[in-house]
Structure 1
């Protein structure tokens, strides 16, 4: 039944054009973490000359990220996750980043 709600929910323009793409960028960075790290390492090692020395790492990173950004299935996965988080927030009033934190235990 929850899946039906996720399919029927209306998303605002800012959600479809800003918030879901932001989620896609964050997830794509995680999926391309190895390439992100290689580029960051090159930049740290190259200093001012990174623009010239890190072209290959930058190109490989962009290719990985773009592959995810253009994938309609990836967009749909992120959209469904966004909708689940939105419905959960409406139900609990707790933002997803706060729900994921470990609750303190006290006796």
Structure 2
């Protein structure tokens, strides 16, 4: 996982509107980390498999994943 995401978020929260100028270094580190993940073939296949599973569930039920309610055993 990219620790630079937390660093970038913290920088943005602390600087407000000036984040465009002050958080460039953190943004670059975050982009490099994300590109590294998306360039990894195994991560790509994992994301693809998850997407295809969600698409299959949607086509079968017509309910989007976010709208499905989780049932509890309580």
TM-score normalized with structure 2 length: 0.71
Check 1:59–1:91 CA distance in 2 against 1; reply closer, same or farther (3 A cut): same
Q: In the alignment, which residue of structure 2 is the partner of 1:86?
A: 55
Q: Which has the higher contact order (CA 8 A, sep 6+)?
A: 1
Number of residues of Structure 1 aligned to a counterpart in Structure 2: 73
Distance 1:72 1:52 in 2: 33
Question: Could you tell me how far 1:82 is from its partner in structure 2?
Answer: 1.1
- Equivalent residues in 2 for 1:86-105 (5 A)? 86-99=55-68, 101-103=69-71
Secondary structure at the aligned position of 2:70 is classed as coil
The whole-number CA distance in structure 1 between the counterparts of 2:66 and 2:17 is 36
Partner residue of 2:29 out of 43, 60, 64: 60
Gaps of 5+ in 1: 1-30
The answer for unaligned runs of 5 or more in structure 2 is none
